[in-house]
Amino acid sequence: MATVLADEIDVLAKAKRALSGDYLPGDDEPYMGEQQLEYFRRLLLEWKRSILASSADTLQLLQDGPIREPDLNDRASSETDWGIELRTRDRQRKLIAKIDSALRRIDEGEYGFCEVSGEPIGLGRLIARPVATMTVEAQQAHEKREKVSRDN
């Protein structure tokens, strides 16, 4: 699980480096003004492009043929690795849906605002997690409710 999250963070970091221009959203400008929205749109599109490119590599490896390890232990290890890779790709498929949703919120003028309270999510949180839909407080309350309902 930690490896999958690390991969996701790494892909986002690569997308941020690809945008390595002079601009980084700051608190000294209007929140979710035109320049900030354009930054996040470009970041989300680059992140999505990186994920799709990585998925294409996985697909190509799968098409190259079945695992043909002569040793049963090596074969089992290879199959486990493929299982992890496929779960990672499934997680990234879900992430692409979240990216598309964030792009739609940008188009509709709702990006950067909490879907629960309507308050600004905050630049720091959006830079760290561009697909965030709730403020930290709303997210914590949501997770607490989920935990309580799971425990019952």
So where are the chain's domains? Answer: 2-111
The CATH code of domain 2-111 reads: 1.20.120.910
Q: 107 and 113 in contact (C-beta within 8 Å)?
A: no
pLDDT tier for residue 2 given thresholds of 50, 70 and 90: very low
Quote the pLDDT of residue 6: 58
**pLDDT at position 148:** 79
Give the list of residues 6+ apart from residue 73 with CB closer than 8 angstroms, or none: none
Q: Please give the model's pTM, rounded to 2 decimal places.
A: 0.76
Task: Please tell me the predicted confidence (pLDDT) of residue 117.
Answer: 93
Share of the chain above pLDDT 90, in %: 46
